[in-house]
Chains A and B, each alone.
Chain A
Amino acid sequence: MSSGDRPRDTAALLEVAGLTVEFPGVRALDSVHFDILPGEVHALVGENGAGKSTLLKVLGGVHRPSAGDVRLAGEPYRPRRPADALAAGIAVIYQEFNLYPDLTVAENVFSGREPFGRASRGIRYAEINRRTRELFAVLGVAIDPTATVGSLTVSEQQLVEICKALSVDGRIIVMDEPTAALSADEVTRLLDIVRRLRAEGRSIIYVSHRLDEVFALADRVTVLRDGKHIRTCDIGDTDPDGLVRLMVGRDVESVFHRDDVSEGEVVLELSGVNAGRQLTGISLTVRAGEIVGIGGIAGAGQPELSQVIFGALRVDSGTMTLSGRPYRPRNPGDAMARGIGFLHEDRKTAGNLPDLSIRHNLTISVLDRVRSGAGRLLSPGRESDVYATYHRRLNIRATGPDQLIGQLSGGNQQKVLLGRALAPGGRLLLLNEPTRGVDIGAKAEIHQLINDLTADGTAVLMVSSDLPELLGVSDRVYVLAGGEIVGHLTGADRTEENVVACATTGRRVFSKELSQR
Chain B
Amino acid sequence: MTADTITAKPAAAGGTRFSLGRQWDTWGVTGILLILLACTPFIAPGFLAVDNAQSVLRESAYVGIVALGMTFAIASGAFDLSVGGQLALTSVVSLMAFGAGGTGAAIAAAVATGIACGLVNAALITGLRVPPFVATLGTLFVFRGVAYLLTQDGPKILPYDQIGSPFARMGSLNVVGLPLPFVIMVAVFGAGWVLLRRTATGRRTLAYGSSPSAARFCGISDTRTRVFVFGLVGLTVGIAALTYITRVWTADGSAQDGFELKVIAAVVLGGTSLKGGKATLIGTFSAVFLVSVLNEVLVSRGVESAYQRIVLGCVLIVALTIDGLRTRFAAPGSFRRSLTRLVPTR
Contacts and interface: CB of A to CB of B under 8 A. Distances in A.
B215 A353 contact: yes
B206 A49 contact: no
B128 to A, nearest CB: 20
Contacts of B11: 399, 403, 407-409
A177 to B, nearest CB: 8
A126 interface: no
B15 interface: yes
Given A80-B344, A406-B333, A367 B216 contact: no
A354 B9 contact: no
Contacts of A95: 1
Interface string B6-49: 11111101110010000000000000000000000000000000
Interface stretch (A234-242, A273-281, A328-336, A452-460): A328-336
A150 B335 CA distance: 28
B8 A353 contact: no
A62 interface: yes
Contact of A404 (B198, B275, B332, B346): B332
Nearest to A226: B5
B154 interface: no
A390 interface: no
Interface stretch (B110-118, B217-225, B234-242): B217-225
Nearest to B340: A62
A312 B6 contact: no
A331 B11 CA distance: 35
Interface stretch (A23-31, A254-262, A495-503): A23-31
Contact of A24 (B10, B18, B197, B273): B10
A187 B13 CA distance: 42
Nearest to A402: B19
A356 interface: yes
Interface string B301-316: 0000000000000000
A26 B10 contact: yes
Interface string B271-289: 0010111100000000000
A185 interface: no
Contact of A344 (B204, B217, B339): B217
Most chain B CB within a 10 A radius of its CB, from A25, A332, A355, A407: A355
B200 interface: yes
Given A81-B343, A355-B277, A54 B217 contact: no
A351 to B, nearest CB: 6
Nearest to A209: B1
Interface residues of B, number: 51
Contacts of B7: 406-407
A23 B200 contact: no
B162 interface: no
A398 B309 CA distance: 47
A350 B277 CA distance: 14
A378 interface: yes
Contacts of B278: 355
A368 B199 CA distance: 10
Contacts of A57: 2
Contacts of A371: 200
A356 B203 CA distance: 9
Contacts of A407: 7, 10-11, 14, 18, 332
A437 interface: yes
B5 A26 contact: yes
Contact of B1 (A48, A81, A351, A404): A48
Contacts of A10: none
A209 B9 CA distance: 22
A480 B217 CA distance: 23
B6 A23 contact: yes
Interface residues of A, number: 57
A92 to B, nearest CB: 13
Nearest to A64: B343
Contacts of A349: 211, 213-214
Contact of A410 (B4, B13, B18): B4
Contacts of B216: 312, 332, 350
Nearest to A28: B5
B210 interface: yes
A460 to B, nearest CB: 17
Contacts of B207: 353, 356, 360, 364
A459 B11 CA distance: 34
Interface in A321-341: 331-333, 335-336
Interface in A23-52: 23-26, 28, 48-49, 51-52
B213 to A, nearest CB: 4
Contact of A356 (B273, B277, B335): B277
A331 B211 contact: no
A378 B203 contact: yes
Given A25-B10, A407-B11, A310 B277 contact: no
B331 A49 contact: no
A368 B200 contact: yes
A408 B8 contact: yes
A474 interface: no
A23 B14 contact: no
B8 A350 contact: no
Most chain A CB within a 10 A radius of its CB, from B199, B217, B331: B217
Interface in A1-24: 23-24
B8 A409 contact: yes
Contact of A377 (B2, B13, B198): B198
A224 B218 CA distance: 37
18 contacts: A23-B339, A25-B13, A48-B5, A51-B5, A52-B1, A332-B216, A336-B218, A336-B219, A348-B3, A349-B211, A350-B214, A353-B215, A355-B210, A355-B277, A355-B278, A377-B199, A406-B7, A407-B11
What 8 pairs across the A-B complex have the smallest Cβ distances?
Answer: A355-B277, A49-B5, A367-B200, A333-B219, A25-B10, A406-B332, A355-B210, A407-B11
Given A48-B5, A49-B5, 15 more contacts: A23-B339, A312-B216, A331-B221, A332-B217, A336-B218, A349-B213, A350-B211, A353-B207, A354-B331, A364-B203, A375-B198, A399-B11, A404-B332, A407-B10, A437-B1
